[in-house]
Amino acid sequence: MKTLLVTVLILPLCALAQSKPSCCSVSSTAQFAMLGADEKFRMTHLEPIPLNFAPEQGKFVTFPTGEGKEGRAFEVKATKATANYVFMIHEWWGLNEYIQREAERLQKEIGNVNVLALDLYDSKVATTREDAAKYMNDAKEDRIRAIVKGAFEYVGARARVGTVGWCFGGGWSLQTALMGGKQVAACVVYYGMPETDVEVLRTLNGPVLGIFAEKDGWVTPAKVKEFEDAMGKAKKKLTVKMYDADHAFANPSNPMFDKQAASDAHKRTIEFLKKNLLK
C-alpha cells in the first residue's frame, strides 16, 4: 500500500489509441496522462465501490508549495519518532479511501516509518471514469512537482525516503525518486510509465523495484524492456517482476484484479522497502 524514509507510489501510461505523438516527443508522465482520452483504457477501470473507511492513525496535513499555495497529504505516523518516510502516490482516482487504507496498512507492516500519501489532485477525488480521466489530464506537471518539492521540505533534509505508486502514481513514484536525489533510498513502481532517458536516470539514487503486467496494453513488456535497457546504460539497480496479469491487477476495485499476483507483489514491496529503507 513502502534515518528518514520516504516512499512514493505512482503509475503513468504511454500513448493514445489515435493521433498519438511519438513516445519520445513528450515526457513519460505526459504520455500517461494522455491515456485518459483512450476509451479502452478508461473501460479497464471499474469505478471504485465506496469503502466507508475510518482512519485509525492517519490524518490529513498541509504544507507550503510556493506561490502562496498549499499541498495536501494523508500522513500515518509511526508510534515512535523516526526520520524514515514512505511517499505514496495515488492512482488516477486521486487520494481516495483505498489509498488512505493502503497507507495505514503499509505503515503497520513496515513499522519504523511514517507514510505520507501525497494528493496530486489538490483535493479532487474521482468516483467515475470520466472524472478520473479529466483529473489526470488536468494535473499539470509544474504543479505536481511543486507538491512533491513541498513534501520533501515538509519531511526535512534529514529524511530517508522511499517512494511507491500505482498506475498514474507509479510513474510519479519514479519521478519523485529522481527529484529527491540522495535522500531517496528506494523506489517502487507499479505498472507506471517509466522514465527511459538515460541521462535523467543517471541522477537516480537507490534501487528500483518495477512491478509490471504481461497483458498490459499500455505499459507494455516492450516499454518495460526499454526501461531495463536504459537503467542498465545508466548503471542503476533495477529489479523487474512481471506478472501474468493485466494493467491495474493490484487494485481490488478493478475488474482485472488478480488476488494472487497482488498478494505476491505486495509482499515483495514490503521486503524491498524494509531492506533498503530500514538501515
Domains and CATH numbers, the chain: 28-277 (3.40.50.1820)
CA atoms within a 13 Å half-sphere pointing along the CA-CB vector of 185? 23
- Residue 33: pLDDT band (50, 70, 90) is low
Distance CA 131, CA 115 (A): 27
- Residue 240: pLDDT band (50, 70, 90) is very high
Across all residues in the chain, what is the average pLDDT? Answer: 88
Q: Which residues pair with 87 in a beta bridge?
A: 116, 163
199: burial class by Cβ within 10 Å (0-12, 13-18, 19+)?
exposed
pLDDT at 24 over 60: no
- Residue 44: pLDDT band (50, 70, 90) is low
- Residue 172: pLDDT band (50, 70, 90) is very high
Question: All 3 cell numbers of residue 97?
Answer: 479511501
pLDDT single digits (tens) 243-252: 999 998 998 8
Distance CA 48, CA 246 (A): 17
Helix (H, G, I), strand (E, B) or coil at 164: strand
83: burial class by Cβ within 10 Å (0-12, 13-18, 19+)?
middle
Task: Give residue 222's pLDDT.
Answer: 97
pLDDT at 25 over 50: no
pLDDT at 264 over 60: yes
Distance CA 53, CA 101 (A): 7
Please say whether the beta carbons of 174 and 189 come within 8 A. yes
Nearest to 2 by CA among 58, 55, 76, 68: 76
Taking residues 15-36, report their average pLDDT: 46
Taking residues 122-133, report their average pLDDT: 94
